[in-house]
Amino acid sequence: MKLANIFLILIYVYNIVSVLILIFVKRSDTRVIFAWLIVFLFLPYIGFIFYFLIGSKYKMRVMSKKYGMSEIEEKHNKALDKQIYDISADKIKFKEIETEKFRDLIILNSKNAMSYFTQNNNVELLISAQENFSHIFEDIKNATKSVEVLYYIFRAKDNVGKEFISLLIDKANQGVKVTLIYDGIGSLHTHMRDFKGLKKAGGHVYRFLPSIVRSVLLVNYRLHRKLVIVDGKIAYTGGINVGDEYFGLKKINKPWRDTTIRLTGDSVLSLQTRFWTDLVFLQNQNFRKKKKAKFMVDEKVLNSFYSPIEEGNLGVQILSSGPSSRNDTIKDAYVKMITSAKKYLYIQTPYFVPDKTILESLRLAAACGVDVRIMLPGIPDKKPIYAITLLNVAKLLNDGVKVYLHSGFLHAKTIVIDDQVSTVGTANIDIRSFSLNYETNAFIYNNEFAIKCRDIFLDDIKDCTIFNAEIYSKRGLWKKVYESIWRFIAPIA
């Protein structure tokens, strides 16, 4: 037998093995399995290569274990285990009586996402890039110890990027410890040389993933978090990245509507720990030898888990998820929020490509009389995903779910229920955010803050048009074909 034939047979066997693993070992969502089976069917000799590059999450779990920093997580988990016991045993008194109704959600997030529940927080809602960066830049100017920045998109050549870097250089020159992380795929046109001045001033800059080879092999995984932490006391997270488009300065998706939050109090330490863990993951990969990065963690800071900061009275949990997570933690929390809603459920998301669990949860919530409303962009940035988004929400219209299309590009990722619980963060309602991206969301248990989220949603409706079954039925034949094609690809896109 010729060598070429043997090679083709081996490749085909690898394809069969990949299919068997996908079906019997991975136990993935059936839509994901079906999408990959189509890939293997039409690309029988190279399908397994695509699966290795963008389908399997096993390699990310191995890397997280190899390059992680167990010391940070062990100290965090020790405090968390005690808190889970205290909450389950009814030993923790909630500052708001209504929070008691969501004890099961808090316990779920604690166990599922290893998320510490704190009650001494203030959270400020910011609904534009102008408002967001005005606060961030002011806080950075007042920084005395450290500034830690992590963005999926950091456009260093845009006006806001230049201003951001200039400010970080000033702080680094003042002796403030400055650390910046950006995602290499999200910030495709940003390069290390753009931060030359910052590094010269003593700042530290890291790219996810640092190795070009790993960036190719792990191209499907994105560090989609957005974090700014100042002096370990103030933190920001939400949907806004560093780029001029977030100010509505680019015609293609103007106007731009987004949401972030500014946090102070105990919850900042959870975000600080998240940043440290991501930082160590990248630091360790920079060492060619089998030598882990020497990353010192201040014991006094970690001990503050046991010593609450008297900052405010809002309950907050910080949830993180990613391809190395055991469960789709943020998705699970979303499902629990949906099923917990009794009066209303308001959702803002730029992309809506959920799995069957979320679709059924929304359908059942509406069937139970819950006022379910979903707000989406009226101007898409990714037409294939937008087509699938409209297809998915169209399935819910006959169940009583109300859908609104914003006049511009809506990039906010928020959910609020019953004037009691809300979440603001980086995760979209799609399979990519739930399973493939590294995300961070804040879950806030507070009546006053939830009402603010509710009122902003209702105010945003003024800039929306209603999307209904009649409008959707008028789409042309080409759009129907287009949707059908992308419907199969969406679960792995």
CB 490 within 8 A of CB 354: no
**In 3D, which of 349, 387, 355, 412 has the Cα closest to residue 485?**
387
Q: Are strands 222-223 and 437-445 parallel, antiparallel or unpaired?
A: parallel
DSSP state of 411: -
* Main-chain dihedrals φ then ψ at residue 68, nearest 5 degrees: -75, 180
Residue 371 annotated among the catalytic residues of the structure: no
DSSP string, 146-190: EEEEEES-B-TTSHHHHHHHHHHHHHHHTT-EEEEEEETTTTTT-
Residue 224 annotated among the catalytic residues of the structure: yes
Active site residue: 266, 413, 430, 460, which one? 413
Active site residue: 29, 111, 135, 231, which one? 231
DSSP state of 242: B
Active site residue: 76, 226, 402, 452, which one? 226
DSSP string, 463-480: GEEEE-HHHHHT--HHHH
Active site residue: 139, 194, 258, 418, which one? 418
Residue 75 annotated among the catalytic residues of the structure: no
Active site residue: 76, 171, 224, 233, which one? 224
Active site residue: 233, 331, 336, 411, which one? 411
**In 3D, which of 222, 226, 239, 429 has the Cα closest to residue 322?**
222
Residue 411 annotated among the catalytic residues of the structure: yes
Q: Which residues contact 426 (CB under 8 A, 6 or more apart)?
A: 152, 224, 225, 226, 237, 238, 239, 413, 433, 437, 439, 440, 441
Residue 474 annotated among the catalytic residues of the structure: no
Residue 231 annotated among the catalytic residues of the structure: yes
Residues designated as active site: 224, 226, 231, 411, 413, 418
